[in-house]
A and B are shown apart, each in its own frame.
Chain A
Amino acid sequence: MEIIKTENLVFDYIRRDEEGNVEGITTAVDNVNLEVMPGDFIAVLGHNGSGKSTLAKHFNAILMPTEGTVWVDGMDTGDADRLWEIRQRAGMVFQNPDNQIIGQVVEEDVGFGPENMGVPTKEIWERVEESLRAVGMYEFRKYAPNKLSGGQKQRVSIAGVLAMHPKCIVLDEPTAMLDPGGCREVIRSVRALNDVERVTVILITHYMEEIVYADKVFVMDGGRIAMQGTPREIFSQVEKLQELRLDVPKVTLLSHELRKSGLPLPPGILTVKELVGALGALYSGRK
């Protein structure tokens, strides 16, 4: 069964003036249908204002669909009685690490979710230790969050969600405010969770480099899903990506240009290593 499924999902932002009259309607998500299978690593890609964050907030029942339905692990997010169960199943990590850490000590913050769920004290400690170890932040458990770097804070946020034992983690642009080093740390942790703990990951991002490892990519534009497929399928359509105002990774762009000028390279090259390999094969083939 799908862990997350949306059916004809539409979401409108309604702007109102001071009297409460409708001033305008912006459709942020427009008729989206998608399915996510357990254990998948899904990336949702799109430039600013493409509706990707709005879509993400539906997976955690923070936003309710204007039209259509969202199912999380078989539960309809419109079902108010199961709201907390849904939020526990699908954890959410936000963009700004400072605005989502509640505790004054790392371990207390990680314990916040389980505390809310009413987990017994002893088990909270076990979960906190296990989650902090999973993101490699166990040595920092006694630190104050404001003494950590951005990447470390974001890993604490991930641990905080992990401690709730979710089946699925939705990360809404978790690296947008981090430096390149912090980005790598976070993406590495997320990949490890997916590989080792088999947690379903939905990564919302506008950085192309981060989706290379995804099982499936959805590209959003104007609230709709514009493209979907494996990273290789997506990256082989360089022109279309550029049309959607997305930056293609430099290696992919380079191999695309090389292909265009006549070099018989395979389409959709994602990493430097791949390009080097392909060029090497080409070179030895010539000799």
Chain B
Amino acid sequence: MIRDITLGQYYQTDSVVHRLDPRVKLIATLLFICSLFVVNQAAGYVVAVVFLALAIRLSHVPFRFMVRGMRAILFLLVLTFGFNLFLTPGEAVFQVWKLTVTREGITMAVKMAVRLSLLIIGSSVMTLTTTPNNLTDGLERLLKPLQKLRVPVHEIAMMMSIALRFIPILLEETDKIMKAQTARGASFDEGNLLQRAKSMVPLLVPLFISAFRRANDLAMAMEARCYRGGDGRTKMKPLHYEKRDYLTYVVLLAYFAVCIVIGRIMPWGRIF
């Protein structure tokens, strides 16, 4: 049923990683992605893989959920792999038709593929263990310093969470409008691409109108409940760091330091 859809890809279970402060997870993901570009040799990637494996293990999320995120970028992955494989100049290993595979090409292709996969799996660990709501809260707090630069951080976070709240409602509405239009003879899955795009118009117009009406109602309801922006607002679920969060920061720093050390000591090397 459409009302049962889960937002984002949060995997409901209880683990240390789930309980971590969202800020820690956001920063960890960022650091992990940076670390992938700091290291450039087999040893470095081994460290990254071990670190990630540990995080996955602690998160109690089945590995297949992590891989699920990969499906979306499979095409990109294959493309990068192919380009790097065939288009890197260097010492030729073998030739297929007009394309030459070089030793450097193989190295580069494998490296990029490993980087990309780790990057995606790494961010999946965050999205799988953090509710969208929590993530928004974390972002709001992390970006708070930007408020001094007049960036409307609270407003952006509020918009994000309202958007998340309304996704299932609008989906349900789309379904309803679709059925109503089908009942009156519209078809949404026939014809070529252009015809299909055209058939979306009678779906999108009513959807937009109703979305605006809802937005208007919601704004009124929010004002009626004394909403007046982020100033002077208290939090029902304020974020505060626990011991485990500090501990995670320490582990993270240690990991990042190791990555930098490996990246520095070992020169631009070959993986094989």
Q: B71 at the A/B interface (Cβ < 8 Å)?
A: no
Residues of A within 8 A of B228 (CB): 84, 116
Interface size class, chain B: 20 to 34
Q: A203 at the A/B interface (Cβ < 8 Å)?
A: no
Whether A125 lies near B169 (C-beta < 8 A) is no
Which residues 233-257 of B have a CB within 8 angstroms of A?
233-238
Within the complex, the shortest CB–CB distance from B71 to chain A, in Å, comes to 26
Residues of A within 8 A of B3 (CB): 146-147
* Complex-state Cα separation, A110 to B218, whole angstroms: 15
Contact A115/B220 with A102-B165, A104-B164 known, Cβ cut-off 8 Å: no
A-B contacts counted at CB < 8 A amount to: 92
Within the complex, the shortest CB–CB distance from B44 to chain A, in Å, comes to 39
Q: Which residue of A lies closest to B222 (CB)?
A: A102
Q: A121 at the A/B interface (Cβ < 8 Å)?
A: yes
Contact A99/B161 with A62-B223, A121-B235, A164-B226 known, Cβ cut-off 8 Å: no
Whether A100 lies near B232 (C-beta < 8 A) is no
Q: B221 at the A/B interface (Cβ < 8 Å)?
A: yes
Residues of B within 8 A of A147 (CB): 3-4
Whether A118 lies near B234 (C-beta < 8 A) is yes
Within the complex, the shortest CB–CB distance from A163 to chain B, in Å, comes to 9
Which residues 135-183 of B have a CB within 8 angstroms of A?
161-162, 164-165, 168-169, 172
Contact A104/B217 with A87-B223, A112-B227 known, Cβ cut-off 8 Å: no
Most buried by B among A100, A119, A121, A145: A100
Whether A102 lies near B234 (C-beta < 8 A) is no
Residues of A within 8 A of B227 (CB): 112, 116
Contact A125/B236 with A102-B162, A104-B161 known, Cβ cut-off 8 Å: yes
User: Which of these, A91, A98, A108, A164, contacts B236 with CB under 8 Å?
Assistant: A108
Whether B234 lies near A119 (C-beta < 8 A) is yes
Whether B218 lies near A99 (C-beta < 8 A) is yes
